[in-house]
Amino acid sequence: MSKDTKKVVDLLNQARAGELSAILQYMVQHYELANDDYGKLAKVLKATAIAEMKHAETLGERILFLGGTPTTKPDGEAKKNQKIADKIATDIALEEQAIVLYNEAAVACAEARDHVSKDIFEKLLSDEDAHLDMFINIKDHIDQLGDQYLATLTGD
């Protein structure tokens, strides 16, 4: 494996570790919210976790194609039993972290002349940007409307 390919594989694995953390975090939140009868918000977190699973799969497939071994270790621990506003703040931080990494990784992949990996990072970047926007909107609703907004998220 060339030096450039190793660098790309390392970036792909770093991204995969972050995606694995996001999956765990969003699924913990999904279970907790569903258990607390915030079914509408729980469904949003479950759908986001599934999107992150697809990201992790895409990254893993690319790593294997390049001759690397996909990591199975998340880069963080899932936070549990947070208040809803804190859950959303955690989610915003995860998405912002991914966006920074994916921007940097896309540039590094282009420099390594691996435009397929660059394209993967750019596609994932678009998805993470949409996730961030969604979480910011939820945070804004919580900040502006508080419990009234949270009441709209109960049930299915």
pLDDT at 139 over 80: yes
- 35-60 per-residue burial string, b: 16 or more CB within 10 A, e: under 16: eeebbebbebbbebbebbbebbebbb
CA angle 20, 23, 29 (to 5 degrees): 145
pLDDT at 1 over 90: no
Look up the pTM and report it: 0.94
Q: What percent of the chain has pLDDT over 90?
A: 96
Q: Walk me through the domains of the chain, giving residue ranges and CATH numbers.
A: 3-68+81-151 (1.20.1260.10)
Q: What percent of the chain has pLDDT over 70?
A: 100
CA angle 70, 134, 9 (to 5 degrees): 15
Q: Is 6 helix (H, G, I), strand (E, B) or coil?
A: helix
Decide: 17 and 129 in contact? Cβ < 8 Å.
Answer: no
Give pLDDT tens digits for 8-51: 999 999 999 999 999 999 999 999 999 999 999 999 999 999 99
